[in-house]
């Protein structure tokens, strides 16, 4: 069984037991999180497609850890003008383990 969920402005295809990195969620490590913005549930017979969400469907997950991703370097330059700018960014993320999908 799989589901397509929406969290942090992005959509993810998830299955039970899968580890997933999403945008930062405000929950303690080890806590259980319920993701109720489920857009599609499939795997057994005909998939259930929401308009825009599947009514009553939810995905439960356990928070493994919070961390920061690798650094992304932003470098801007204008040739022959002596202008250059270097900037870095590290995005926060939450690592989840999907424990259940229910309709």
DSSP string, 79-96: TTTTEEEEEEE--EEEEE
Structure tokens at 47: 């998939």
State how far the Cα of 6 lies from the Cα of 4, in Å rounded to an integer: 7
Does position 90 have pLDDT exceeding 90, yes or no?
yes
Q: How far is CA 59 from CA 4, 9, 10, 13, 101, in A?
A: 10, 17, 15, 11, 5
The pLDDT score that the predictor gives to residue 45 is 86
pLDDT at 97: 98
Per domain, the residue ranges of the chain are: 2-102
**Residue 22: pLDDT band by 50, 70, 90 thresholds?**
very high
- Residues 38-47: pLDDT tens digits? 999 998 889 9
């Amino acid at each position: 069984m799989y589901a397509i969920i929406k969290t942090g402005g992005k959509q993810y295809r998830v299955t039970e037991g899968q580890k997933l990195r999403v945008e930062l969620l405000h929950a303690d490590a080890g806590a259980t999180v319920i993701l109720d913005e489920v857009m599609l549930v499939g795997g057994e017979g005909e998939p259930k497609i929401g308009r825009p969400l599947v009514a009553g469907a939810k995905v439960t997950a356990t928070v493994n850890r919070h961390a920061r991703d690798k650094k992304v370097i932003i470098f801007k330059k204008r040739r022959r003008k002596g202008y250059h700018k270097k900037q870095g960014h590290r995005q926060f993320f939450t690592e989840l383990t999907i424990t259940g999908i229910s309709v």
